[in-house]
Every structure is written in C-alpha cells, then in structure tokens.
Amino acid sequence: MTSTNPVGPQVGTATTVSSTALRARFAARLSALYGSEVPAYTTLVTVSQEVNQRVMSRGGPDAARLGSMERVTAERHGAIRVGSPRELEQVSRVFGALGMFPCGFYDLRDAAPAPIPVVSTAFRPLDPAELAVNPFRVFTSVLIPEDRRFFDADLEGRLRRFIEARELFPPELLTLADRAIAHGELSSADADRYLDLATASFALSPEPVDRAWYAELERVSGVAADIGGVTTTHINHLTPRVLDIDDLYASMQARGVEMIDEIQGPPRWDGPDVLLRQTSFRALSEPRRFRHQDGSVTEGALRVRFGEVEARGVALTPAGRDRFDELAAEVDRRIAANPELSRAEVAPQVWAQGFPATERELCTQGLGFFTFGVDDAVAAGAGSPDQVAALERRAVADLVAADVLHPVPIVYEDFLPRSAAGIFASNLTDRGAMDAEHGGAERDVGWMSQVLGLEVRVPEDIYAAESAASLSAAEAVLGRTIITQ
C-alpha cells in the first residue's frame, strides 16, 4: 500500500492547473453552491469573518498564533456521506485529485449520545505547507448496512441493492480524477470540466424522494435515510473556522439564528485552546419532492442540512488526549451527580483542576504537540548562563524553560468523534433505533485502508513527525542531541 504525499505546494503553469490550485477552486465552487442552496450558510460565513476581524483587532500579534487571518478566512471543512466501499473508493479518487488524503478513523456506531450507523475518515492535505496554501478538508462517512445492530438481513439486502444500482460520480469525473492523481495537475480545459462535474456531484438533487423507502430507513436512523434513501449524494454542511467561537455563538443568536444547545469539545476557559470546539445552527427545513406508492409526486420538506462552525486549538499528544478524555468523563460524572448544573459551569472547574493552564506547561508536560525554534542569542553563541546550563542538560523541558527553544503550537487539523456524534445527534429529529443485542460488523482503520488502496494516516503520527523534524533542525543549529523524554 502506498500513499502519495506531495512534497509541497505545486504551482502548475499557465496552461495547467495543479492539484493545489484545483483544491482552492473546488473549495470556492462548493462554497458558492452551498451558499445558493442554504442561504443561512452565507450569514454564518459573514458573521465568522466579523468575529475573526474583531479577534485580530483586539488581540494584537498573538491573535494570529493559531492561524493567520488569510488562512482562517479561507478555511473550510465539508461533510459528505456515502453508502458503500465502492462509493468511498470513488470519493477518495475525487479528493486525491485535489491533493487530499485519508487521515483519521472514526467509528460513530457506538458513539454517545446517539449511535450512527457509519464509520468515517477525513480527506485532507497532509503537508503543513499544503494546508497553509489551501486548508480544505472533507469529513466523509460510509454507511455500514451489514451492522445487525441497526439493519436486519432483509433491510440490509434491499439497502445494498439500492446503493449498488446508483452512480454518484460520472465515469468521466473519475477518469479526470485519475489523470490529476497521476500527473499532479490537469490541463485547464480538463480542470474546468473536473470542477463542473465534481461540484455537480455534491449538489442537492431535484429528483423526487421515494417516501416509503425514505421513511423505512428513517425509523432506523435519519443518517441512514439521508445516505441510502436517495439516489445521489450531497454536501451535508460546510464549516468555516473562527478564532472565537463563543463570540460567534452569541452573534448568531443575536441575529435570531437558532443554534444547538451547546458548543461541543473543550470548554471555554482561561487556559490554552486545544483540539477542536464546534457548534452549529439547527438543521433547516428544505423543500424536497416526494414520490408516493401510487406514483404521485408531492411537495414536502426534509431537515437534514445544517451550518456548523469551529475553532481550532493545539493538537494533543496521546498522553494529552488521555487527559482530555479523563476530564470529559469527569465532567459527565459531575453533571450526572448534580443534574441542576450546566456543562458550561462544571467543565471550566474540572479543567482548571486537571489541565495545564498555559501553553508552555502543555509543552513541558508532553501533553501538546509543538515545533521548536532556537533562540537567536543561543544560536549566535551568546546564551545566558541559565541557557548554557540548560544546554548541558539537553532535555526539551529544560531547554524550553530556559528559553533556548521557543515552542510554537501545532494546530489540530482533524476531528473529534465525540463532537461529531454530538453534532449528528443534535441535528436529528429522531434518534432512530439500535438493537445492541446483535453483533456489529467489524470495521477498523485497516479495513478502510484496504477499501481505499491507500494507508489511512494516523493524525498523531503526522504531528509527531512534524515536531521531530523541528527538533532535528534545532539539534543541527545547537550542535548537540536533544533528549525528548
């Protein structure tokens, strides 16, 4: 199994379009499409930009610590849902053409508060330089009809046949995608055609929905109906990034947009921003046409698509992630014991007791991922006595404490299954039905890699490699090895 990991941004020429440029153009096309389909998304983007502008103007140079205004303004993630390994493999080719590769494996079937019959990955650029040029990712879920906790054998068979019979992506699009993957670019005529076909594949179809079939699947799960109840796929949401999600939440409510009850992920607190915080406005009622058993077609509505927004923080090491999970469990325990308390009251207290209060401690305790720059004075051979002493000890924590190494946070570029499940659940009208007595079909990261013919990368491995590369560069400057333990 091989994975193509581009070396850096590719420029293309006047007559060709690189994967990088294609990604930027696709992200813009998808944004225009989704804005035309879901006008509230345009409001969300406008408010997000106002929030980011406010943060930049009040926060000085540190405001851009976790992302430049330019990057954050362009930053989006989309979410799509498909029905089978075959469709997932096709999605992988469509995004491979854009320099986006599978990263992370999320099993949402045993997720709290509501299980969803899908497993997911995210297609994204892996190289920080590529992310910096155009930070676009797509959270992609695939339905598991074989999972007996959700679908009995009869429904599984009908669902699989329905999905096998449809074609989400035209063969011409897949041919163009394969060409882009092979060459890292397309001719400008091919690029235009690719963008038209790819964008159209994610538009909401005007085809009438089979009412009875959709309703049967909806009794199991709204997400199963959204995926397997129709013959096409569509972009479910497109998420801008903000630098202050609490401000965003309040600003949207002030405009009269109904938001879900909570911001998912770490709480608002005085310590460092870590991982990912997300919230959304509630799924909107969109007009859809329905075909009934007697063949008649009527106008109706479905509530499936919503507007999500997110703030990103420092990536956590496996030890940091364990701590994060422990704190989340502790918050749940305290709320269960004191149901009159809200999460917004409890979580900051739990975090104040159990999590480092500063970025620097997050680094020296080995809980967050950082890259390191060497202090200018030390590099010039003019370090203070403290710095020289730390250099003798050679441990990262000492070198950071003595300001020999300046840690720069690595931003979390991935997703959180618990938040994903929370966002899915808060936007479903009905939780559906799962029978936990039955066994679930085994699906893991190895299964997904095999389906894609590509290694699904482990996010923490990518952050660790980035951190290690910066330490090697620091070792070269300092002329000595650094102890990372």
Pick between residue 305 and residue 323 the one whose CB is nearest to Ni ion.
305
**200 to 259, contacts with ligand OOG by CB under 6 A?**
236
Nearest CA to 224 out of 6, 463, 434 is that of 434
Considering CB distances under 5 to 8 angstroms, the limit depending on partner class, which of ligand OOG, Ni ion, none binds residue 364? none
Query: In the stretch 219-258, what mask flags binding to Ni ion with x, by CB under 5 A?
Result: --------------------x-------------------
User: Using the rule CB under 6 A, which residue among 23, 25, 76, 81 binds ligand OOG?
Assistant: 81
Helices (DSSP H) in 267-354: which residue ranges? 318-337, 343-354
Contact between 41 and ligand OOG per CB under 6 A: no
Give the nearest distance from C-beta 239 to ligand OOG in angstroms.
Answer: 6
Beta bridge partners of 457: 103
Contact between 424 and ligand OOG per CB under 6 A: yes
Using CB under 6 A, which of the segments 58-66, 142-150, 378-386, 413-421 binds ligand OOG? 413-421
**278 to 337, contacts with Ni ion by CB under 5 A?**
308
Q: What is the DSSP string of 33-93?
A: HHHHH-HHHHHHHHHHHHHHHHHHHHHGGGGGTTS-HHHHHH-EEEEEEESSHHHHHHHHH
Pick between residue 201 and residue 264 the one whose CB is nearest to Ni ion.
264
d(CA 199, CA 77): 15
User: Using the rule CB under 6 A, which residue among 415, 452, 455, 459 binds ligand OOG?
Assistant: 415
- The residues, any chain, with a CB within 8 Å of residue 195's CB and separated by 6 or more, are 22, 25, 26, 29
Give the nearest distance from C-beta 304 to ligand OOG in angstroms.
Answer: 9
Query: In the stretch 284-313, what mask flags binding to ligand OOG with x, by CB under 6 A?
Result: ------------------------x-----
Give the nearest distance from C-beta 124 to ligand OOG in angstroms.
Answer: 12
Nearest CA to 71 out of 52, 99, 50 is that of 52
**121 to 150, contacts with ligand OOG by CB under 6 A?**
139, 141
Considering CB distances under 5 to 8 angstroms, the limit depending on partner class, which of ligand OOG, Ni ion, none binds residue 72? none
Q: Total residues at the site for Ni ion (CB under 5 A)?
A: 3
Q: Total residues at the site for ligand OOG (CB under 6 A)?
A: 12
Contact between 79 and Ni ion per CB under 5 A: yes
Contact 127, 8 (CB under 8 A): yes
d(CA 278, CA 283): 15
Rg (CA), the chain: 24
Pick between residue 246 and residue 361 the one whose CB is nearest to ligand OOG.
246
What angle, 0 to 180 degrees and rounded to 10, lies between the N-to-C axes of helices 39-59 and 19-37? Answer: 120
Pick between residue 190 and residue 308 the one whose CB is nearest to ligand OOG.
308
Cα 470 to Cα 360, 433, 474, distances in angstroms? 17, 49, 6
- Nearest-CB residue for ligand OOG: 420
The CA-based angle 229-235-241, given to 5 degrees, is 145
Beta bridge partners of 138: 78, 123
Chain positions contacting ligand OOG, by CB under 6 A: 79, 81, 139, 141, 236, 278, 308, 415, 419-420, 423-424
Chain positions contacting Ni ion, by CB under 5 A: 79, 239, 308
